[in-house]
Amino acid sequence: MFGLFRKPPKLDTDYGQADLELRTVRDRALAGDWAAAQGLIEATGRDWELRGRRLSVLGSAAGEFPQWLDAWEAAVPVDPTVAILRADALMDQAGEARGYASARNTSQEQFQEFHRLSALAAQACQRAVELNPDDPYPWTTRMTSMLADGHRQRDEFLAALGESVKRDPYNFETHLMAVTFFCEKWYGSHEQMFAAARGPAAAAPAGSPVAMLPLLAHFEYALREFGFDTRAESLTAKANYFRRPEVIREIDACAAKWRGAGEPRLIGRGITLRHWLALANYLAEHDRKGTKALLAQIGPYLGSTAAYGYFWSRQTDGFHTVWKWAA
C-alpha cells in the first residue's frame, strides 16, 4: 500500500467516482442507449443509498446532454425513472444557472433563472411521486428545489422531509439536503444545522452513511465562521477549529459508527465519505496513518468533492494538500 504514495495519483474527476458500472452505463446512455440506464436503475432495486447516487450521476448527465432522456421519455412516457431524472436534470441546470458564488456575488438574472428551473423541477418531482409512490428520492429532489425560495417554503420543506424519511428513515441524500437547507448560509442557523446532522447520525444503525453527517456540519460551520469569502486565506483559523478536542472526538465517533458494520463499500457514498474523513483528519492534524489508508482506498477518484472547495479555491488543490500531508 505504501508504495502507492511515491507521487500523487493522476486525479479522476468523473462524477461517478469508483462506480465503474455506473460510469459505463452513463456513457452508453449519452451515446443513445437509454435502456442501459433503465436497466441499471431497475437492477439497483431498493438499495436507496446506491440508487440515489446513481440517479444523481445520471441526472447530472441528463442536465448537460438531455437528448438521451428525451428519447427515453418519448418511448416510455410513464416510466417513473424518467420523471425523477428529468427533475434532477432541471436541478442540475438550475445550479449551473445560479452559479456557486455567495448570494452577494450572484446577479438578479441568475437568481431568476434558478427560481424558474427549480419550479420546473418541483413539477417533475410531483410526477415522479405519482408514478412511484414508494420512492423516497423524488422527495429529496423536491427538497433541493426549495433552495430557491426556502424562506417561504420552510413548512413545505419539512413536509417533504417527512415524506422521504417515512419511506427510508436514514436516507443519506435526504438528510444531506436537510443539513444543507438548515445551515446558516441558506435558511437556518448553526444550531439547526447541527441538529439536522446529529439527530439522524445518533439514531442511525451502525454502518449507515448518515453517521458521517456531523463532519459536513463542521465543514459548514468552519466555512461560515472563519472566512466565508476568503477560503484558503483563512485556512489556519478553520484548521484551529478542527483541532479542538471535542471536534476530534466527534470525528472519531462518527467514523467508528460508520465502520461499525464492517469496512464500507466504495460505491454509493463510500468515496465521498472517505474524502470527508481524510479532510477532517488533515484539518485536525489527527490520525495521519489512518488517513493514508483512506487515501489508498480512494485512489484517484476525486469526482466532485465540494468540501475541499470550502477550504481551497480548487478541489484538486485541497486533495493534493491532504495527500501530501498523509504521505
Q: Domain of 109: which CATH number? A: 1.25.40
- In angstroms, the CA 196 to CA 187 distance is 13
Q: Are 63 and 129 in the same domain?
A: yes
Q: Is the pLDDT of residue 228 over 80?
A: no
323 occurs within a structural domain: yes
Read off the pLDDT of residues 188-199 as tens digits, 9 standing for 90 and up: 999 999 999 999
228 occurs within a structural domain: yes
Q: Are 134 and 213 in the same domain?
A: no
Q: Are 237 and 208 in the same domain?
A: yes
214 occurs within a structural domain: yes
259 occurs within a structural domain: yes
Read off the pLDDT of residues 16-59 as tens digits, 9 standing for 90 and up: 999 999 999 999 999 999 999 999 999 999 999 999 999 999 99
Read off the pLDDT of residues 281-308 as tens digits, 9 standing for 90 and up: 999 999 999 999 999 999 999 999 999 9
Whether the model pTM is above 0.85: yes
**Per-residue model confidence (pLDDT) at position 120:** 95
Task: Yes or no: say if 18 and 266 are a contact pair by the CB < 8 Å rule.
Answer: yes
Q: Are 260 and 320 in the same domain?
A: yes
Task: Yes or no: say if 150 and 181 are a contact pair by the CB < 8 Å rule.
Answer: yes
Task: Yes or no: say if 69 and 86 are a contact pair by the CB < 8 Å rule.
Answer: yes
Place of cell 481551497: 312
Amino acid (one-letter) located at 133: P
7 occurs within a structural domain: yes
Q: Are 100 and 208 in the same domain?
A: no
DSSP-derived 3-state class of residue 301: strand
- In angstroms, the CA 249 to CA 251 distance is 5
Q: Are 68 and 157 in the same domain?
A: yes
Residues of the domain holding 289 = 1-19+204-327
157 occurs within a structural domain: yes
**Per-residue model confidence (pLDDT) at position 93:** 93
C-alpha distances (whole Å) from 263 to each of 5, 200, 206, 256 are 22, 21, 11, 10
Pick the last residue of a domain from 141, 168, 195: 168
Q: Are 208 and 319 in the same domain?
A: yes
Q: Are 142 and 209 in the same domain?
A: no
Task: Yes or no: say if 148 and 91 are a contact pair by the CB < 8 Å rule.
Answer: no
How many structural domains comprise the chain? 2
Pick the last residue of a domain from 122, 150, 168: 168
Task: Yes or no: say if 288 and 325 are a contact pair by the CB < 8 Å rule.
Answer: yes
Q: Are 127 and 222 in the same domain?
A: no
Q: What percent of the chain has pLDDT over 70?
A: 96
Would you place residue 128 in the very low, low, confident or very high pLDDT band (cuts 50, 70, 90)? Answer: very high
Read off the pLDDT of residues 73-106 as tens digits, 9 standing for 90 and up: 999 999 999 999 999 999 999 988 887 776 777 7
State the Cα angle at 102 between 187 and 160, rounded to 5°.
Answer: 30
- In angstroms, the CA 293 to CA 297 distance is 7
